[in-house]
Amino acid sequence: MKYKIVIVIFVIFWGILLHRLYNISVKSNIYYEKLAKENIEKKIHSKPTRGEILDRKGKILAYNKIGFSISIAPHLDIGKKKKLDSTIDTIVSYFPDLNKSVMKKVYQQQSSHYNHKFIKVVDFIQYDRMISHFPTLSLNDNILIEAETNRYYPYQKYASHIIGYIGRSNQKENDKDPVVEIVGRVGKSGLERSYNSVLQGELGYQIFKVNARNKEIELLKNVDAKDNKNIITNIDMALQEMIYKRFGDDIGAAVVMRPNGEVLAAVSVPSFDPNLFVGGISFKDWKALQENLDHPFTNKFIHGTYPPGSTIKMGMALAFSNANPELLDKSEHCRGYIKLGRADHKFRCWSNWGHGETSLRKAIRESCDVFFYNKSLVVGIDAIAKNMRDFGFGTITGIDLPTEYSGIMPDKNWKMRRYKQPWYMGETVISSIGQGYVLSTPMQIARYTALVATSNLVTPQIASIVDNQIVQKVEIPFHFNPKHLTEIRLGMYDVCNHPKGTAYKALHEMPFLIAGKTGTSQVVSISQDVKKRISEEDMEYYTRSHAWITTYAPYEEPQIIVTVLIEHGGHGGSAAGPIVADIYRWLHQKGHIKPVVKTEVKE
């Protein structure tokens, strides 16, 4: 036993000795070698110029204004406070609008005995203002003037939720990316954030040999920064601006997309000016954005989640078809409501008097709720939810914008996880018409509309070319029952072209045939005691239903998807339909839609 203890002690002793020897001879050598190298060499980084963002026709949506930054030498506030004050006074004498107290505060926050770098106190001075004072200020050893760029967004509010903005980086962002740490700016939202690693470029650097006083005596290596990595988008800025202005006082979102996923416009109303954030937004401006009840800072087309209402009915029909292929061949009789079991509760159709005998095509055309109530009870929520998720509900679309919301496509397990409660048949009924727990974004509805139009589920794309590389399109083909899909499309045709269609008034007189579906999604429940619902126009604004319409055109050869949501707009056909009509007229006038001969569609 004693021998074992001695051996253990011996092994531990030599282990410690060898470990110490390794640290002294190997690790320390690497450390001191690096330290010695730093004493004879100095590395200076050069910032890359951030890439520009352009629309599909070459209009610049984000670019860099040229100017200068001002930095002050370190240690001027350590035992020499008057030196710092006099240096700041010198700067302010040339630029009286600068805030002396802010500059001093910024300096003192970064000042320490260990900081030997100049401290930036002014991020950006425009080129024209600085250039006449540059020679004089450059002669001051305590002042460093460096070339600088400042991001600018010429279209301001019209594309802010797409383009996003850049702002000062924080310590967490600096630690993740050495380029961000040097540049001090990073994309905070939109494309600026999604493609930040591309747009910001790569650092350049120069390595100098220095003497004992850290003075440069020889250039050893020079590597240029890799910059100007641009992004060309699919966005047509003229269309984007037109749609935003067309909304007027309405609040909501619009998506215009090609069936292959190219997003021509994505509008969220109201919006904000991203230029406010570039140099740091003021408390006053931030408070105004946060307290605005219309939420201008929220990107409504990917972050706004709403009950999809009747726009979901084509997807529901396809889910029924997949789950029970013969179910859609049978008509339903609508008398204006259904009851479940012995309960007196009525699940009502929007039409108090009912739709009578209703086929699939008629159910889409006239948006009969009872048709979908009855079919959903046969299929069940689990089978419905499985198919609907395949169609893009309750999942992100994959658009190249950050933090997209997935919405909700509920089933029994979802409710048990979320609320620890069982699922009820009545919840299946209301889910079938896009109410209850079901929530979707306008981008999801546009994507799923493209699926109905083409049988391909695509990934929406804002960027078209990134640093000279074409962005590859993603399409997932689906195989639906051709008879049922044809009936659904005919029903959507009827919505816009049949006198009983819910969007007939707004969309039947167009240069080409449009197919679509309206939706009115309730935000408050209606009591069973109410025999006749009050009109949307007479309701308080925030209790009115959201108005949806989603469309594709031309009917014979789909080339464009247009989806519009008006918050608390009431009826989809009357509130959102006219906006869709104006969008299609604009697209037709500007040549975005190839001419297609109108064909007669049989009843």
Place of tokens 């979802």: 414
48, 225 contact by CB (below 8 A): yes
So what's the pLDDT on residue 238?
A: 97
CATH topology of domain 302-589: Beta-lactamase (3.40.710)
How many Cβ atoms from other residues are within 10 Å of residue 566's Cβ? 26
Query: 224 has which bridge partners?
Result: none
In the predicted structure, residue 589 carries a pLDDT above the cut 70: yes
So what's the pLDDT on residue 530?
A: 47
281, 469 contact by CB (below 8 A): no
344, 311 contact by CB (below 8 A): no
- Closest by Cα among 95, 66, 78 to 103: 95
547, 569 contact by CB (below 8 A): yes
In the predicted structure, residue 210 carries a pLDDT above the cut 60: yes
In the predicted structure, residue 130 carries a pLDDT above the cut 80: yes
So what's the pLDDT on residue 379?
A: 97
The arithmetic mean of pLDDT across residues 478-493, rounded, is 96
In the predicted structure, residue 71 carries a pLDDT above the cut 70: yes
The arithmetic mean of pLDDT across residues 377-401, rounded, is 97
CATH 3.90.1310.10 fits domain 44-233: yes
Q: What is the pTM of this model?
A: 0.86
573, 336 contact by CB (below 8 A): no
H-helix or E-strand spanning residue 64: strand 60-72
So what's the pLDDT on residue 523?
A: 65
Q: What is the DSSP track for 403-441?
A: T----B---HHHHHHHHS----HHHHHHHTTT-TT-BB-
In the predicted structure, residue 538 carries a pLDDT above the cut 60: no
Strand segments (E) across 176-310: 185-189, 204-210, 216-223, 231-233, 252-257, 263-269
C-alpha torsion sign, points 447, 451, 452, 454: positive
In the predicted structure, residue 185 carries a pLDDT above the cut 60: yes
So what's the pLDDT on residue 198?
A: 95
So what's the pLDDT on residue 209?
A: 79
How many Cβ atoms from other residues are within 10 Å of residue 503's Cβ? 29
The whole-chain average pLDDT of the chain stands at 89
Query: What does the block give as tokens for 191?
Result: 């494309």
CA 182/CA 69 separation, integer angstroms: 14
CA 171/CA 184 separation, integer angstroms: 10
So what's the pLDDT on residue 47?
A: 85
The arithmetic mean of pLDDT across residues 501-509, rounded, is 93
- Closest by Cα among 466, 307, 478, 304 to 400: 466
Domain boundary assignment for the chain: 44-233, 302-589
pLDDT band for position 115 (50/70/90)?
confident
